[in-house]
A and B are shown apart, each in its own frame.
Chain A
Amino acid sequence: MTTQTLIIAGQHLELHPSGAVFWKEESALLISDLHLGKITHFRKFGSPVPQKAIDQNFEVLEQNLNYFMPEKVCFLGDLFHSSMNSEWHRFESWVKKSQVEFILVAGNHDIISPLKYEALGIDLVPELTWGPFLLTHYPEERQGYFNLSGHIHPAVRLRGHGRQSLRLPCFFKNKHQLILPAFGTFTGSHILEKCEGDEVYAIAEASVIKI
């Protein structure tokens, strides 16, 4: 496995091939667009998405906690895809046995009652300014802050000789912001065009590669 470390405003951000970012100075794990509950939501409406894919989400979360041992986990929105369903209970028991502090920056999909989050001890906020960073769900530019966000599910298209092309999920960075890829399985992606000054860190199997 290969990760990439960025230094932004003197802070170390480690990009993990699962799509998570580890902020070393604050021992915080940043995760965007997990979309828990999506598979169950589809199943509830008669679309038989394999249930094993749900396990995968929790396994990768677990792996990240074991690897980085963070003190805090901050979700950058779209933690839960739909209204309440049985995946929530699974999430509940997972949160209860994890020894870390949880924060959720609300995304457009997060429609579950704030009381539910409160009951779990998860701090629910519309946005978060933390050190030099502004943490939001939608990408945003604000004077004096570097923005960390999600929502877009960024991917990049690479082209090569012989009419070759590849599409890979990626971390997308410009001067003012870093957009995280979607962490959840069964989420899809959206291609962004790389412009002058953008930096793209693509996820290729178990590696993060700077393009």
Chain B
Amino acid sequence: MSPVPAAPQATRPRPRTPEATPPPRPPRRFRPADLWPYLLIAPTLAGTAYLLVYPLVRSVVISFQHFRLGELIRGGAAFVGFDNYAEVLGGAEFWTVVRRTLVWTAVNVVLITLISTLVALMLPRLGRWMRLAVMSGMVLTWATPVLAATTIFQWLFQSRLGVVNWLLVTLGFDSFKDYTWFADGNSTFAILVALVVWQSVPFAALTLYAGLTTVPTELYESARIDGASGWQIFRSVTFPILRPLFGLIVSLEVIWVFKCFAQIWAISKGGPDEATTTLPVYAFQIAQSLHKYDLGSAVSTLTVLILIAVLITHLRRMLKHEGEQA
């Protein structure tokens, strides 16, 4: 790629991607061929309109309507302004769920990031066969479907025949004999955390490991020659280089954990005693079992807003970056 900047590019620097040099512009006169790109993206636009934009708009509209079972069947929902939001935000339950969702997200993401960083740092230091074994094991975990994993965990933590209780009793924790994990809110919460962390670490660890292998070894060598300790090398060489990757992984995990639904619903449906009801589960419960579609939609909208608020810095950076690339 030529290092000499072309005149129109001087104002807006572009990253060096294969797309950075645009093909010559076609002549201004309209030709039927100009329609091609629009025909090519038409199916994508149609799909997005029906399955993303429409439900999204519908969700927001319903959150401003009185929309219960009657309106679902008969139609003719009346607008009620911010009544639904007032009702949701005014209730103590909503704030309990928000707090629980934030705790749920924080606990999971911290554990995932910590464990996967350690695993990623461990991998290059292992012998070839051990590394291959660990990576294959993690791919196996990664390949396990969510619903298979929920079933397995229910079996592992089964009260009378579960292998976890057997192990704990064998190790001397006799109070775990026939312990029913899923009867208690906190222990169900803990199992769900274990499940989500178990499922998420492989992706994060393998991605970080792939990133680590791109760090030039000269940097480590010179740092070591300068007498830096392992922790210092991580803090001042590895981490700064991989910072964008860390940012990406943490953001992706925040999104995945925050809106996690299948695991929770399949194992506990938000129970026992609402101990595992996070925002997506809460919205679904209100709408599905109580037929309060209006309140459910309001909670959904608030969920998205909270998620955006949590991720705002990352989103801004990413959209800016992609905008430049485009």
A and B associate: no
B residues with CB within 8 A of A: none
User: Which A positions have Cβ atoms within 8 angstroms of B?
Assistant: none
